[in-house]
Amino acid sequence: MTPTQSMNLHELRMASGRTSMVRKAVAADLPGIVTIHEKAFSHFFLTRLGSLFLHRYYGLVLNYRTGIVLVSEERGVLDGFACGFVDPAEFYGLMWRSRHNFMLPALSALLHEPFLVAKVLQGIHRIQTSATRTPVRSCELSSIAVAPEAAGKRLGKTLVQAFLAQAWSLDAQYVYLTTDADGNEPANALYRKSGFQHTRRFLQRKGRWMNEYVIDRMTGSDS
């Protein structure tokens, strides 16, 4: 068995007969993860901070003691990923302590788009508050994306299932996530079908409503 095969978590057999595999990410996958993120979230705030910022963010999760970074690949080409972490308070504390690693790419982005300052300040506030509010043994599914050219292959559901399996193996008691409430029905449907329960709708900032979803270990282990 090859090293890559030994890390396989899930396999998805498609109608074409091809197999897409989900496995744990390694450092060499970071450029591919960033590329998929940029394609899937082209207009999102983190994307506008630049590829270097994204590379350092996903690298921090990858090296975090209970970080979960999974990738899906077909014939050696990455076509999706899922990212998150158990004990989010500890992770956000680590991110804040590592802020010097993110300052240069953030400042570079601000020079090109000064109006991002308000969003950067909101992001800093979120990091600081998340470092104190999230309960121990919780897990945040912070990002999941499928390359546009791989849409329609059920990769999203496979990535969610693999992520949950990893979270439970790390002794998480529940997994939560937030996603846009409006104009985002495919993602909302995916989480509902995967067993997540809608817990609240809230206004993150003017004009942007978010949905929060939670799944507990007992429910998730049965899905």
Residue 15 belongs to domain spanning: 3-222
The CA distance from 215 to 73, in Å, is 26
User: What pTM did the predictor assign?
Assistant: 0.84
Number of domains making up the chain: 1
The confidence score (pLDDT) of residue 95 equals: 87
The confidence score (pLDDT) of residue 93 equals: 87
DSSP label at residue 135: P
DSSP, collapsed to helix, strand or coil, labels residue 7 as coil
The confidence score (pLDDT) of residue 3 equals: 37
pLDDT digits (tens, 9 = 90+) for 78-114: 999 999 999 998 898 898 888 888 887 777 766 666 6
The confidence score (pLDDT) of residue 50 equals: 85
pLDDT digits (tens, 9 = 90+) for 24-36: 999 999 999 999 9
Give residues with Cβ within 8 angstroms of 51, minimum separation 6.
34, 38
Nearest CA to 161 out of 79, 221, 75 is that of 221
Q: Which residues of the chain have pLDDT under 70?
A: 1-9, 11-19, 109-135, 222-223
CATH of the domain at 181: 3.40.630.30
Greatest alpha-carbon span in the chain: 52
Cα-Cα-Cα-Cα dihedral sign, residues 42, 8, 178, 85: negative
